[in-house]
Amino acid sequence: MGFPSTPNLKLEPRPRTRRLLRCALSSEPVQPPMTVSITGATGFIGRRLVHKLLSDDHKVCILTRSASKAASVFPASTYPGLTIAQQGDWEACVRGSTAVVNLAGMPISTRWSPEIKQEIKQSRVNVTSKVVKYINHAGNADTRPSVFVSATAIGYYGTSEIHSFDESSPSGNDYLAEVCREWEATACQVNQEDVRLVLLRIGVVLGKDGGALAKMIPLFMMFAGGPLGTGRQWLLLSLVLQTYSIRWDPSHSVFRQMGFDR
């Protein structure tokens, strides 16, 4: 007697098995699971970052001001084991984390009234200040997160039609540059003796399921679009996620090649 046929059965490896297979086929060593606390997790980058971390078998704690919104974006049935922490529980999550990622901030793609401009700035500075305080008060180096990745933006440099900018360029003198300076200055208050601080100045991120591209496509569908720069200034969402995973892992091959591992 043979076994019953199951023509539609697909055997998929579990997430951890897939991760081990990827590591076995690559030159990267298998890294132990991390616990990562994230602000701004319900945003465009944050949602995908949470998904990537969980698929790589890491633990994630979402630091949110609205548990109901976070639960609607990350339903427990789809994201079992995900921790959603309201403000009163942020400190405990930060204390138990390997890394903290700060993505919080009100979207800037809106009409800028004086009140909105103030909210854009304060939504970034206030959350960053709170996270920095919790990291600095998280005990000694053994209990404190080892990495703090805080988002900022290329708006730091201002705008120019003739100049190119790099990390050594000075800050601009417009509103967004002011926001970025205060945002970064607040993040720099973290105790950097035993916490590695990473400031990521992110540009316009493109992804098919939201962000700037979702706002651009309708205009092009109505033949109202046009060239956006030279076409060489794009930043794909997948590259941003890869950058985050590299930045908080000093044992990554990129760091080993550059001599940054410790």
pLDDT per position as a tens digit, 98-148: 999 999 999 887 888 999 999 999 999 999 999 999 999 998 877 889 999
pLDDT of residue 72: 94
DSSP lists the bridge partners of residue 153 as: 202
pLDDT of residue 30: 55
Residue 147 is assigned to a structural domain of this protein: yes
Q: Measured between alpha carbons, how far is 254 from 234 in angstroms, rounded to an integer?
A: 22
pLDDT of residue 56: 85
**Other beta carbons within 10 Å of 130:** 19
Residue 173 is assigned to a structural domain of this protein: yes
Extract the tokens encoding 106: 């009100």
pLDDT band (50, 70, 90) for residue 14: very low
Give kind and range of the element (H or E) at residue 100.
Answer: strand 99-102
Which stretches of the chain are DSSP H helices?
15-25, 44-55, 67-73, 90-95, 114-136, 175-187, 211-221, 237-247, 253-258
pLDDT of residue 246: 46
Residues 61-83 pLDDT 10s: 999 999 999 999 999 999 988 99
pLDDT of residue 210: 62
pLDDT of residue 1: 45
Nearest to 214 by CA among 107, 101, 62: 107
pLDDT of residue 81: 85
pLDDT of residue 222: 80
pLDDT of residue 162: 82
Number of separate domains in the chain: 1
pLDDT of residue 80: 87
230 vs 176 pLDDT, higher one: 176
Residue 15 is assigned to a structural domain of this protein: no
pLDDT of 18 strictly over 90 = no
Q: What mean pLDDT, rounded, does the chain reach?
A: 78
Residue 20 is assigned to a structural domain of this protein: no
pLDDT of residue 212: 63
CA angle 134, 136, 138 (to 5 degrees): 65
Sheet holding 235-236, edge to edge: 210-210, 205-207, 235-236
Residue 180 is assigned to a structural domain of this protein: yes
Q: Measured between alpha carbons, how far is 103 from 105 in angstroms, rounded to an integer?
A: 7
Residues 180-219 pLDDT 10s: 999 999 999 999 988 999 998 887 776 666 666 666 777 7
Residue 23 is assigned to a structural domain of this protein: no
Name the DSSP class of 153. E
Q: Tell me phi and psi for residue 79, to 5 degrees.
A: -120, 65
CATH number for the domain including 223?
Answer: 3.40.50.720
pLDDT of residue 213: 64
34 vs 21 pLDDT, higher one: 34
Extract the tokens encoding 150: 């805080």
Give kind and range of the element (H or E) at residue 202.
Answer: strand 196-202
Query: What range defines the domain where residue 194 resides?
Result: 32-158+166-258
pLDDT of residue 93: 94
Tokens 């004086």 found at: 114
